Structure 1
């Protein structure tokens, strides 16, 4: 009887250690949860949203990422606009990457609130903002979706790829918005 109890306790300890190891590996090497702070990505992501961030996904243009802020002791969530080697220009609320115009459908709700011909995003070229004509190697140019209320690469310049925590893949709170994020 005593021997069976000892085996059961050892079995439970082994199970908990294995589960703990799996959680550790997933949390530190594959995925991590994060909470959105602020309104810079509104309406795509709102203050208090809880998201799952993949640490192993490839980062592409227009992906939403979490990164260590270069100008604060916190993490920011922004959208990748420019990849290494890209030239970027904003003209009359149209984004141009490498001379090609891109539609930004995620900005439509914010553009609808503008009146009197105002622009959501002020005109700029990468050269005017950063002194560089192209995004440097191992760097990214990021902007928030709430362009009039976002501290992003237009203010602090490029971010280092090494500062990226990961790509936002999934929202799990609030419960009525669970799922992938456009």
Structure 2
């Protein structure tokens, strides 16, 4: 077996766990690392987004275990590459600054790799450059980071390269790896879940709202479950403004509780909601002094939508705020089409003393 560069193996496993082991000739170990990493991340994300798990414990445990596995993987990649090297190669490798170590250090923290090879001025310049880009052109930061790490390899006094393209290829792979979390975050936001904060008091006391997001509840809105099942009565949903609301210049998403389902007849009587002529029990989320009336509908369409009994159209839902005395909702402007529902609010993650599932 030919000699392997231990710090190249580390760079490769930094891109994705297991690649460095495969490069080192430990293919089975490398494939196991790849498989285990994928499974672990899927389980970790499921625990974080699951309604019945503790968000803080799940997220903290996932972070600690991920950090431990990341370090273990890099150490294992280094040892895997070094294990079969000849003593002569190891002696040669230790006689000069290792270019692959310089690249790894620069990806770990900008400038360190250049300090390691003695390029102090460029290291300082790199730190200043990354600070400027992160504050002005933040979207270019990963590209600049990887380019500076590549230069740490290029500027190294000794390079034991078999091909000059290898460092460039590793840099491109590192860039893809750096951009992957961004793509994953966009995918999760589009199809799985997203974080939002409550801007108004329409859902009090269930959810505390405030124009100041640091005083408001912050929640996770799940999108995945509604791809396989319809929304249910009692779900708190986030939805885009209807055509009626857009005509009234509302452009931001709303959050309300589903009260009426498609095909049901809804009416307001004696301050209560009646579904198909039967009173709806809402004592779990309404305070005793809350009355559901159309008197709150002082703006918008007149007469209000629920001024008389209505039958909810197909693929549409009637939604109301828990703070019935101060909520602009379906009573006033109508129902929400199914295709405008973004997802279900199912977990609060801020403030920390109120973390937990949303009922």
CA distance in 2, matches of 1:133, 1:159: 14
Equivalent of 2:239 in 67, 89, 101: 67
Specify whether residues 88 and 132 from structure 1 end up closer, same or farther in structure 2 by C-alpha distance, changes over 3 A only. closer
State the match for 2:134 in structure 1: none
Equivalent of 1:92 in 262, 266, 270: 270
State the match for 1:82 in structure 2: 260
Whether the 8 Å contact between 1:49 and 1:171 is mirrored in structure 2 is yes
CA distance in 2, matches of 1:89, 1:156: 14
State the match for 1:56 in structure 2: 224
CA distance in 2, matches of 1:65, 1:23: 21
Range that drifts further, 40-49 or 10-19: 10-19
Specify whether residues 87 and 174 from structure 1 end up closer, same or farther in structure 2 by C-alpha distance, changes over 3 A only. same
1:35 matched to 2:207? The reply is no
Secondary structure of the corresponding residue to residue 257 of structure 2: strand
CA distance in 2, matches of 1:19, 1:62: 34
1:63-142 equivalences under 5 Å are 63-70=235-242, 71=245, 72-104=250-282, 105-108=284-287, 111=288, 114=289, 120-122=291-293, 129=306, 133-142=310-319
- Bigger Rg, structure 1 or 2: 2
Larger strand share, 1 or 2: 1
Whether the 8 Å contact between 2:305 and 2:332 is mirrored in structure 1 is no
Range that drifts further, 77-86 or 48-57: 48-57
Structure 2's unaligned 5+ residue stretches are 1-98, 100-152, 154-160, 210-215, 296-303
Aligned positions, number: 172
State the match for 1:156 in structure 2: 333
Query: With structure 1 as the length reference, what TM-score do the two structures score?
Result: 0.82
Deviations 1:45-82 (A, max 9, x none): 11121111112223111100111123211111100111
Whether the 8 Å contact between 1:89 and 1:123 is mirrored in structure 2 is no
Whether the 8 Å contact between 1:92 and 1:123 is mirrored in structure 2 is no
Whether the 8 Å contact between 1:93 and 1:123 is mirrored in structure 2 is no
Residue 89 (structure 1) shift: 2.5
CA distance in 1, matches of 2:190, 2:294: 40
Whether the 8 Å contact between 1:55 and 1:165 is mirrored in structure 2 is yes
State the match for 2:182 in structure 1: 20
CA distance in 1, matches of 2:292, 2:205: 15
Secondary structure of the corresponding residue to residue 106 of structure 1: coil
State the structure with bigger RCO (CA 8 A, min sep 6), 1 or 2.
1
Query: With structure 2 as the length reference, what TM-score do the two structures score?
Result: 0.44
Range that drifts further, 3-12 or 92-101: 3-12
Residue 23 (structure 1) shift: 1.3
Deviations 1:140-177 (A, max 9, x none): 11100000100001111112212211111111111111
